[in-house]
Structure 1
């Protein structure tokens, strides 16, 4: 037995050729996204014994391995999820910031123009041109709020469409991953190309949601979304979809399904693009819409109330300039009933005090037999409500009316007091003579308790004893007995003591009014009425103009314009925070990406050096074959 130089050389040539093939493939795929560098592992062939010694018989490529670090890949997926979420958050917040900064500038501008027009009416209260201009400015205020709400509604539709598109792409990925798993389980060895495709899909999936990967013994990988939602299990692919929102249908929820089983999942907890889209919709877009509605209610209520406090150009109590705050067009969408409710209660929300409203939404829950609780969804604060007849009282500036039906144990409703207001706001007044620039003179007695206030509701100037300057009337009200008595300017009783049903009092002297009693015990208060009227009176117009600087919103802490500016500043702050977060997450992602590339990426300089080395090995092995051939030829020549 002799050393087989020819076979040794042949094995060297074949091994070098394989090495060059792997190296060439690495070089060719240097720019292929998701490609992992491959290395050929070379081993020695078994030795042969000649005499007392062992001689090598050559080499072979024992395996072609894919350079892959599971820890680095997991770190990259986490970085991808965080960066993708930060990008989505910044993109959506930047859109909102631009909306409020540019298009939204028309809202405070229209309010300023409206107050300017009110000042002009105050200067010339009988000028119909100024009054017409004031109504036109009121229309611009309503129009600006309508348009702003329309843009927010468009943002809602766009965000919902993005959620649907992401869900569709996740389904495509899950199906392909399941097919890859099936191919991997069929193959006796690992196909690097399949594994690269698998990892690329999982990495893309991590853009849309947090991803947990579970390697299986058969080489396949199960994939979970958000740590709790199984998406791919072996060769079985689940489907992600959307379903109608609950309790509001225009806010779709995320579902996962397999076969006939469907489960609703919390999209906001998935992370990545999906999580940020849900968070943006629920934590920024909807609250912004609520705060815009709060402003619309504030505008309508403030000026409608001022109208009721004054006289129009014909001497009548002023009528509404804007749509009433509890008009059906302003109240659309204030209540949403959850689909799990078993009762048939139909609720209606009435705004009682706009000044107490916030931008919050609330969850109303009922526990049998008679417990009603209202939870602020922003602060988590829970307040008990009191059922008074068919009214649930105790809300922040609003009450809930049980319009029909009844509650069942466990029923829940979402209450959004400001919903629909910005879209429903319109100018109700058409005649400029209806602007109440003048004001009555109603004086509270110096000895009054301070717990009552009055508001005119009706007047009849044709009444013979109608109170004007020189014939003022004083009404003494006893809230303990719910009675009143009328006295003339000299203090003489001109009307016998009468009872009344709160809050309305009809004096019988050509005017009626409402009394607001905030005391816990009955008091006796007096009010003097001088309801004389002069066309040139501008006192109520001046009071209207002062609303520009009055803190009448958010429990006396904000002006009308301040509500919008507060929303704008909050969105600007969130946008800035999103920009900082994006920069931070991008740096973390780049660090994770560079680590993967340093291990699994193709280094062209290194591969070029390898190519030269394997080429030399090939040439050297080929030289051995030539030498062996020459030796064989020499041997044949020597025996001829």
Structure 2
């Protein structure tokens, strides 16, 4: 029996040693990120029969088990993905909110300064010092818009860099995961260290995107990102890539490898930091840039239009203060053609009515001959456009020109009417005398229909006979029932001076030292009286310019120029606050999932300390059995000597 006691004691000592080793390893790794607690599972050795009885022969360690709850781990990954997405959104929105609140405040401030200068000019319209100050204010306003757009473009680039950096890290994780899978497949049993490393990589991956885990043999796992595409398939690592944006190169897109081909990934299906960054760039940052462009277009168009309706200090018709909003280079930059287009058409966008613009982006589809569909990418509303010559008409506030080439069925274009306007706005006037503070007097007849208007195009010769001035006005009666319209001119006494036909498109009339344009058609007779007198002290047009500060000329008559910027700023502030709330909620969900994992798989030092004492006592007790067995053996040996 003493020999049996030796064997039993030895098994107890070895089992206690194993338990002490596992417990010590747990304690040593209490601060190791991703470590899962291990336990040694003991079993009873095969019993031995003596006579009619069975006697135990000791114990052994069946396995060292890694404590892992698949459901809890999955909930933690989901919580991590949600938290990372919410934190990324909140961080980016906070940066944008600060940009609009701190640097962006210069835009409305300089706009107010510009209007203040115009009010001063209205008081002293011939003062060259005030005129110079107004031009300086206009330049500062344009520069602040340029600077704000530069900061927004910098945020776009920063976001693109983050996307590329995350994509690089995902590819590194993919390779590491594939290598771990290979080692697990080759190694019998489950290597707890490899499994911990595998789990840590999956947990990190869940920061960047939604992760779906597919279990394989021997602990290996395949990984899908966002239920969209396979990233790791057994020992094979797939790759993600960042490719040039289509149709706009500075907005990179994600790709993934599949069977030797590169396919586009849909960021909306990814979640995590990647999904949040794409969502921020495409649905917050770019719209903010477009709305800033909408403001720039509104400023340039409104004041250039007012200039064209007034006289400068030299008595000439006013010229633009700001860059032409339909400059050919700027117009071409508002269109992006998709790389897969079968056609060869090159397009540009002309702004026809800034007040009708919304800051939206559009997708133009040429589906078949004569069918041009324009889809608002924000609202989803579809408008069918009409081709008039080489111009597509029917959009809200803009028209699309086919400048070269031909459209083919399947062609797609993205239209951004307000894109880059804030970057391109500038002051083109250098002479303060050029500000058109004075104004002509053009009076529509009381019987006019209201559907026809005239616009002064140029003052050709103030010394011309019968040039219209105060007390010598001229009245033009237009017959718009014919195309082009015909006209008859009457002096202040009602005597007919001349008749003629308008020329050109749109129709223009040149007579008695000036030229004006006819817009609209009533199908009947319309009359307009012209008084083109000029006096350096006239402030009529300067007053009209100053009143633009309170005029609702934007968003279909719903907003002033200042309102456009304020709305964008408030929208971003509201989004930031909502993102903060979402981040707080996501953190609470993550902490709950993390606490559950830690309660099951984490190391509890109090529990391990108790185990240490328990296994130490077991070791000592087994050693005592061995001492007892040795004493019995010595007694037996002495009795037979």
Say which is worse superposed, 473-482 or 253-262, in terms of deviation. 253-262
Say which is worse superposed, 144-153 or 496-505, in terms of deviation. 496-505
Alignment of 1:196-235 (within 5 A): 196-235=196-235
Counterpart among 513, 516, 519 of residue 516 in structure 1:
519
> How many residues are treated as equivalent by the alignment?
638
**Contact preservation (8 Å) 1:332, 1:420:** no
**Contact preservation (8 Å) 1:296, 1:425:** yes
Give the aligned partner of residue 607 of structure 2. Answer: 606
* Residues 180-207 of structure 1 deviation map (CA, whole Å, 9 limit, x = unaligned): 0000000111000000000000000000
* Residues 75-101 of structure 1 deviation map (CA, whole Å, 9 limit, x = unaligned): 000000000000000000000000000
**How far apart, in 1, do the equivalents of 2:596 and 2:86 lie?**
21
Structure 2: gaps spanning 5 or more residues:
none
Structure 1 runs (4+) greater than 6 angstroms displaced: none
For residue 522 of structure 1, report the CA deviation from its aligned partner: 1.0
Give the aligned partner of residue 423 of structure 2. Answer: 423
**How far apart, in 2, do the equivalents of 1:499 and 1:420 lie?**
37
**How far apart, in 2, do the equivalents of 1:369 and 1:443 lie?**
46
**Contact preservation (8 Å) 1:23, 1:610:** yes
For residue 2 of structure 1, report the CA deviation from its aligned partner: 7.3
Give the aligned partner of residue 22 of structure 1. Answer: 22
Give the aligned partner of residue 636 of structure 2. Answer: 635
Give the aligned partner of residue 78 of structure 1. Answer: 78
**Contact preservation (8 Å) 2:40, 2:63:** yes
**Contact preservation (8 Å) 1:330, 1:425:** no
**How far apart, in 2, do the equivalents of 1:571 and 1:219 lie?**
46
Are residues 1:553 and 2:558 paired?
Answer: no
* Residues 597-619 of structure 1 deviation map (CA, whole Å, 9 limit, x = unaligned): 01100111001000000000000
**How far apart, in 2, do the equivalents of 1:602 and 1:332 lie?**
63
Counterpart among 483, 487, 490 of residue 486 in structure 2:
483
**Contact preservation (8 Å) 1:334, 1:348:** yes
* Residues 436-467 of structure 1 deviation map (CA, whole Å, 9 limit, x = unaligned): 00001111111111112211001121211100
Give the aligned partner of residue 257 of structure 2. Answer: 257
Alignment of 1:432-471 (within 5 A): 432-459=432-459, 460-471=461-472
**How far apart, in 1, do the equivalents of 2:228 and 2:265 lie?**
10
Give the aligned partner of residue 585 of structure 2. Answer: 584
Are residues 1:570 and 2:571 paired?
Answer: yes
CA RMSD in angstroms, aligned pairs only: 1.1
**How far apart, in 2, do the equivalents of 1:17 and 1:462 lie?**
116
**Contact preservation (8 Å) 2:3, 2:629:** no
**How far apart, in 2, do the equivalents of 1:296 and 1:547 lie?**
14
**Contact preservation (8 Å) 1:242, 1:253:** yes
**How far apart, in 2, do the equivalents of 1:413 and 1:11 lie?**
78
**Contact preservation (8 Å) 2:119, 2:546:** yes
**How far apart, in 1, do the equivalents of 2:604 and 2:375 lie?**
59
Alignment of 1:345-364 (within 5 A): 345-364=345-364
**How far apart, in 1, do the equivalents of 2:282 and 2:35 lie?**
39
Q: 1:331 aligns to what SS in structure 2?
A: helix
For residue 499 of structure 1, report the CA deviation from its aligned partner: 4.5
For residue 538 of structure 1, report the CA deviation from its aligned partner: 0.4
**How far apart, in 2, do the equivalents of 1:123 and 1:597 lie?**
75
**How far apart, in 2, do the equivalents of 1:497 and 1:624 lie?**
129
**How far apart, in 2, do the equivalents of 1:178 and 1:523 lie?**
80
**How far apart, in 1, do the equivalents of 2:340 and 2:49 lie?**
83
Give the aligned partner of residue 104 of structure 2. Answer: 104
**How far apart, in 1, do the equivalents of 2:602 and 2:351 lie?**
63
Give the aligned partner of residue 338 of structure 1. Answer: 338
Alignment of 1:495-534 (within 5 A): 495-517=498-520, 521-534=522-535
Give the aligned partner of residue 535 of structure 1. Answer: 536
Q: 2:442 aligns to what SS in structure 1?
A: strand
Give the aligned partner of residue 400 of structure 2. Answer: 400
**Contact preservation (8 Å) 2:215, 2:222:** yes
For residue 553 of structure 1, report the CA deviation from its aligned partner: 0.5
* Residues 156-189 of structure 1 deviation map (CA, whole Å, 9 limit, x = unaligned): 1100000000000000100000000000000111
Structure 1: gaps spanning 5 or more residues:
none
Alignment of 1:42-441 (within 5 A): 42-257=42-257, 260-331=260-331, 333-441=333-441
For residue 255 of structure 1, report the CA deviation from its aligned partner: 0.7
* Residues 79-131 of structure 1 deviation map (CA, whole Å, 9 limit, x = unaligned): 00000000000000000000000000000000000001111111111110000
Q: 2:105 aligns to what SS in structure 1?
A: helix
**How far apart, in 2, do the equivalents of 1:188 and 1:395 lie?**
68
**How far apart, in 2, do the equivalents of 1:371 and 1:456 lie?**
37
**How far apart, in 2, do the equivalents of 1:100 and 1:365 lie?**
35
**How far apart, in 2, do the equivalents of 1:143 and 1:247 lie?**
28
* Residues 462-508 of structure 1 deviation map (CA, whole Å, 9 limit, x = unaligned): 21110001110001111111211111112221112434445332242
* Residues 280-307 of structure 1 deviation map (CA, whole Å, 9 limit, x = unaligned): 1100111111111111110000000000
**How far apart, in 1, do the equivalents of 2:543 and 2:470 lie?**
21
Give the aligned partner of residue 627 of structure 2. Answer: 626
**Contact preservation (8 Å) 1:76, 1:589:** yes
For residue 556 of structure 1, report the CA deviation from its aligned partner: 0.6
**How far apart, in 2, do the equivalents of 1:594 and 1:222 lie?**
26
Scaled by the length of structure 1, the TM-score of the pair is 0.98
Q: 1:499 to 1:300 in 2, by over 3 A?
A: closer
Scaled by the length of structure 2, the TM-score of the pair is 0.98
**Contact preservation (8 Å) 1:2, 1:50:** no
